[in-house]
Amino acid sequence: MNICVPYDKEYTDLLGLAVYSFEYYEGMIVDVISYYEPDFRTEYYRRKAMASSKLADKFETCKKYDQLEKYIEDFSSLVDRRNQLFHAHPVTHDGNQILNYQVNTDWEVCDFLWTKDELQSFLLTINRNIMSLSEFKSKLMK
């Protein structure tokens, strides 16, 4: 595709896969919550849009089911990283086009550079979580 925006194809492929994988992971979370609360699927997909942090909060309410603790923690720990990725801005770093997420703290502005290595690490973490949750979901749905 010929567009005027400078980009690195390998980087944008990783970025697209990370975005798609996280959304797939969210869908699995919705499936698990729906097992315990059957109306939740309709609420999530057909009503007002729900941010990832709100989905994490909703998943947290399932804590009463002891076997979910690990999966709740796994998902919640990735929501902030997902937000850092989705709300990052393009920059040129070391001659490469990448994304940068800036956080304004009380002390300084902190940058988080989404290098290819960071994207791969994020993607691998999502993948591990998906595989783990998939095993649990298979047992749950039997």
The domains of the chain are located at 9-80+116-137
Cα 124 to chain centroid, rounded:
12
Place 102 in a pLDDT band, splitting at 50, 70 and 90. Answer: low
pLDDT at 108: 53
pLDDT value for 62: 84
If phi over 0 gives left and psi between -120 and 50 gives alpha, with beta otherwise, what is residue 105? beta
Per residue in 78-96, is it b (16+ CB within 10 Å) or e — as a string? bbebbebbeebeeeeeeee
* Helix residue ranges per DSSP H, 37-115: 40-46, 52-60, 69-86
| pLDDT of 87 over the 70 cut | yes
Write the pLDDT tens digit of every residue in 14-41. 999 999 999 999 999 999 999 999 999 9
